[in-house]
A and B are shown apart, each in its own frame.
Chain A
Amino acid sequence: MLSIILLSVSGLANLFLGFLRSNRVLLPAVMLVLAVVLAINLIGFDTGQLADWNASPYFAGMLTFDRYAQVFTTVMVLTVLLLLPFSQKFVQDGNPNLAEFYSIMLFSLVGAIMMVSYNNVLVLFLGIETLSIAMYVLAGSDKSNLRSNESALKYFLMGSFATGILLFGIALIYGATRTFDLAQMGVAVRALPAADPGMTPMLYIGILLMLIGIGFKISAAPFHFWTPDVYEGAPTVFTAFMSTVVKTAGVAGFFKLLTIAFGGDTSGFWLPTLTAMLVLTLLIGNVGAVAQTNAKRMLAYSSISHAGYLMLALVALNSETLSKTAIFFYSLAYSLSTVVSFGVLALVHDQRQRDDYDSLNGLAKTNPLLAFAMTVSMLSLAGIPLTGGFFGKFQLLSAATAEGYIGLVVFALVMSAIGIYYYLRPIIAMYMKPAEEGTAAPVPVTMLQSAVLVVLVGLIVLMGVAPGLFDGFLA
């Protein structure tokens, strides 16, 4: 709760900071707030206590800040903290809307935290909306760029439809179970087929509609069509925000919903649907990424495919601890790697004004650090050992194996073999192709950005070499 309060208040305060003549103070101020929030959450880990030092629910049981919420809040706050330095370009350009950007990011983070700490389906909806509306604005924040406008419009139109569907689903489920509370809903849903068979179709339609709504938010196929265009058009820093925080919050929130409210016998009804979505998501994400020539679009498809991998844990939700841990580990590794890859692309884009593969040519010569960081991030996304991505993938696979989904596991592995192909393409461009004419100058990187890249790479490798350090938070 403390995280939500701090972030909301500082978001508001930040708007007023925008009145200052110089906007140089904004970035350090926002980073400081995030660091404080991160520290609060981390202290909770140490003492074995919750971030707020008590687990009692807030607002008449609508929010609970338990271990689960705390862990995912930490992941998301850390991601945003490490992502922010790549927005220094806005500061240098003297962007007049800088304060608003940062405030909107903080507000959307609040939405994301609500999505992992909700105890009531309405709060889930509120969180999703807080997050999404902020993202619509950020996607279109590059006002003079046609692509950015297109991106915002597409995201908004499709997103509001999805929200409507989600809300419709919630309404139907409420009609069937007469409650919004997650735990009570779980009890009612399990009892319903026996107690009131006439209501079951309504419940099932409601569940399906919710699957669609949340599937859209985490860009699961077949509700992924917006992703490549929106990711490509939005300013790269905000794309990174979208593909990390939104996905983590979406999957973690989804997992909570599925286990508590729709678990048990009911899962027999929606599991085949979810499995089909998973297979489709992995297929479309990986095959789609192969065909791309633009690194940013490739990462968009890759983010679709990662939604697919994460859904393995949703499908295997009966091994609850395994799945939870897997989602945590995977989303952390994925977020860190994604921040690196989009961060490097943003820096390269700032100088070279393009983000196809060829814009990375010869980067290893001009910017060894950027090239190395990008390489580690690509290997991590591909799930190669020595990086966190490998142990993330391993935990997802072992959760799925423990539930007997051997076929799915083999399919996911075949898909990640395809993944290797497109993750190697940036590496080939950086290390094995000569720089193109006019791009021989090094990409300017600030001290802060270099330091953050080193921290990010260090964390990714640490997760791959000493995974034990990140183990057991959710046991």
Chain B
Amino acid sequence: MLTALLLILPVVAALLLHFVRGSAARALALGASLLELALAVYAAFQFNGVYSQTNPTLELKYHWLESAGIAFHIGMDGLSYLLVLLTAFLVPLILLASFRHNYDNPSAFYALVLFMQTGLIGVFVALDAFVFYFFWEVALIPIYFLAGVWGGERRVPVTLKFFLYTVIGSLLMLAGFVYLYYMTGVNGAMRSSDLDAFYNLTLSTQEQSWVFLLIFAAFAIKMPLWPLHSWQPDTYEQAPAPASMLLSGIMLKMGIYGTLRWLMPIVPQGMSVHVGWIMVLAVIGIIYGAIIAIRQRDVKRLIAFSSLSHVGLMIAGMFTLTDKGLQGTVIQMLAHGVNVVGMFFIADVIERRTGTRQIAELGGLTRRTPLLTVCFLVILLGTVALPLTNGFVGEFLLLMGVYQFNPWLGAVAGLTIIFGAVYLLRMFQRVMLGPDSSFSETITDLTGSELAVLVPLVLMVFWIGLFPGTFMHISEPAVNKLLVLINR
């Protein structure tokens, strides 16, 4: 029931937003998202780690399309829970960030963000392939409108490209799911699209390999895996700041989560055929993203490419199929979500004050903005993966996993930290320090509402960095179960 409530609450709030305007709309949106966060935190106490029939609080199943064997089956294990928590934690901050803009028709904007939250949470809690697919697409519609209606100059072609890319991927995934669904009924059994039914399938390696390619197409586009990333920098750049945060902070985790839940345990042999080239592409992505990031002049594009580079490491770590790699991926998903949202928010803060995102036009901003500088630096160092910050735990585990898989790949992947330090610190130096620019004297420090966004993020950087056990403890049983399924 709790899971269903988590799904329904944002969408109800989104519908109610249709009837209110102005500050009441803000209060309603923020209130709903905070209530959602409270529910998500409460769920932690109701929760025994592995999804199973014995825990009806978090699992729910009722007939959806009975004659076809499709059920509305949702529930959470540690892996799902952490991502639900991440979503519930980030959405209020993203809403707060959007309050500062004078968007046209703000109620619709907040409603779409909340609607998106339902889609995202639905993806993370789905235990039936078609429920998963349903929410996967549901999450796409609001972000398309958020980016397409409120975005920058080139928003129309850019969002069209984004939409087409993602939908082509999703349709291939649908083909894969339809095939798996069909195979569940091949021995005369009732067809079913339930996760467990998919886990029980016995397919030949050949079949698994094809199904893997079909489904992985969707996930690889969403993550994105180099060279399928070309939608990403443009979309991040053109989307309004809150939409960029949603996209990079939460939505790209859908691809990684999908791989962990709907791909690795279902077609393990098929996957092992492809692990080699995926690892290589992932590592290329790490290096490629980092090198392009060094060359960027626009802050938002720099963050986009840095995100590409970091995601590359997650993909590589995940496909090592070791417990270190998988746990590292999980913890890094959280850390990356926190960091990238913080980075986009700071880029937005600076852009709103100075009217530009060009690194060359900025400089010497620290003098009048001590708070901004501190927050920026903390989140930046988290992204660079300095020890004691959140980025370190995940990237360390990931690199260890990759190194065990193949020392050469591990060595190349390790460059991500060095390159990351290069482009991020260089950006910090040029934007915040460096010679004074025309904005050095006029820029104002963070306001209260901006602090309300950044302080939780900064705290989270330290929390995950200092006490990663809090979160790894939750995901551990789920990851172990995953490994059992993969190695069966």
Tell me the A residues contacting B by CB distance below 8 Å: 325, 379, 384-386, 390-391, 394-395, 397-398, 401-402, 406, 409-410, 413-414, 416-417, 420-421, 424, 428, 431-433, 466-468, 471-472, 475
Contact = CB atoms under 8 A, between A and B. Distances in A.
B67 interface: yes
A420 B181 contact: no
B130 interface: yes
B466 to A, nearest CB: 41
Contact of A386 (B64, B134, B164): B134
A467 B64 contact: yes
Contacts of B181: 398, 401
6 contacts: A386-B137, A386-B141, A420-B163, A420-B164, A468-B66, A471-B68
Nearest to B149: A431
A406 B137 CA distance: 23
Given A386-B138, A406-B179, A431-B145, A468 B64 contact: yes
Contacts of B484: none
A432 B163 CA distance: 14
A432 B156 contact: yes
A71 B135 CA distance: 30
B172 interface: yes
B3 to A, nearest CB: 17
A416 B134 CA distance: 16
B26 interface: no
Contacts of A475: 67
A438 to B, nearest CB: 22
B66 to A, nearest CB: 6
B133 interface: yes
Given A379-B141, A431-B145, A471-B65, A414 B171 contact: yes
B149 A432 contact: yes
B168 interface: yes
Contact of A385 (B65, B133, B168, B185): B133
A421 B164 contact: yes
A401 B178 contact: yes
Contacts of B138: 385-386
Contacts of B66: 468, 471-472
B141 A384 contact: yes
B134 A385 contact: yes
B410 interface: no
- Say whether chain A's binding surface is mostly helix, strand, loop, or mixed: helix
B150 to A, nearest CB: 10
A144 B380 CA distance: 70
Contacts, number: 85
Given A385-B133, A395-B68, A472-B66, 14 more contacts: A384-B140, A385-B137, A397-B175, A398-B178, A398-B182, A398-B191, A409-B175, A410-B172, A413-B172, A428-B148, A431-B148, A432-B149, A467-B65, A468-B63
A472 B65 CA distance: 9
B167 interface: yes
B65 to A, nearest CB: 5
B171 A394 contact: no
A409 B181 CA distance: 14
A402 B137 CA distance: 24
A410 B182 contact: no
A428 B160 CA distance: 9
A313 B174 CA distance: 18
Interface string B388-403: 0000000000000000
Contacts of B163: 420, 424
Interface string B263-299: 0000000000000000000000000000000000000
A402 B181 CA distance: 10
B272 to A, nearest CB: 23
Contacts of B160: 421, 424, 428
A432 B148 contact: yes
B171 A413 contact: yes
Contacts of A421: 160, 164
A475 to B, nearest CB: 6
Contacts of A390: 134, 137
A471 B164 contact: no
Contacts of B185: 402
Contacts of A417: 164, 167-168, 171
Interface string B124-166: 0000001001111110110001001100000110001001100
A108 B88 CA distance: 55
A226 to B, nearest CB: 30
A461 to B, nearest CB: 12
Contacts of A394: 130, 174, 178
A413 B172 CA distance: 7
A26 B171 CA distance: 46
Nearest to B71: A468
B68 A398 contact: yes
Contacts of B134: 385-386, 390
B203 to A, nearest CB: 13
B148 A401 contact: no
A242 to B, nearest CB: 29
Contacts of B133: 385
A301 B141 CA distance: 24
Given A379-B141, A385-B138, A428 B65 contact: no
Contacts of B137: 384-386, 390
A410 B64 contact: no
Nearest to A425: B160
Nearest to A384: B137
A344 to B, nearest CB: 18
A415 to B, nearest CB: 9
Contacts of A467: 64-65
A190 to B, nearest CB: 26
Given A386-B138, A413-B175, A420 B67 contact: no
Nearest to A379: B141
Interface in B154-208: 155-156, 160, 163-164, 167-168, 171-172, 174-175, 178-179, 181-182, 185, 191
A431 B141 CA distance: 13
B164 A401 contact: no
Contacts of A410: 172, 175
Nearest to A470: B65
Contacts of B135: 385
B421 to A, nearest CB: 39
Contacts of A384: 137, 140-141, 167
A385 to B, nearest CB: 4
Nearest to A400: B178
* Residue of A379, A385, A471, A475 with most chain B CB atoms under a 10 A cut-off: A385
A413 B174 contact: yes
Contacts of A391: 65
Contacts of A409: 175, 178
Which of B65, B133, B168, B175 has the most C-beta atoms of chain A within 10 angstroms of its own C-beta?
B65
Contacts of B63: 468
**What are the 8 A-B residue pairs with the smallest beta carbon separation, nearest first?**
A385-B137, A385-B134, A413-B171, A401-B182, A417-B168, A467-B65, A420-B167, A413-B175
A402 B156 CA distance: 39
B67 A471 contact: yes
A466 B63 CA distance: 10
A468 B65 contact: yes
Contacts of A431: 145, 148-149
Nearest to A395: B68
Contact of B67 (A325, A379, A397): A325
A411 B64 CA distance: 27
A416 B65 contact: no
Contacts of A471: 65-68
A402 B182 contact: yes
B271 to A, nearest CB: 20
Give the residue among B133, B178, B181 with the most A Cβ atoms within 10 A. Answer: B178
A457 B145 CA distance: 19
A292 B359 CA distance: 43
Contacts of B67: 325, 471-472, 475
A413 B141 CA distance: 19
A397 B172 CA distance: 12
Contacts of A413: 171-172, 174-175
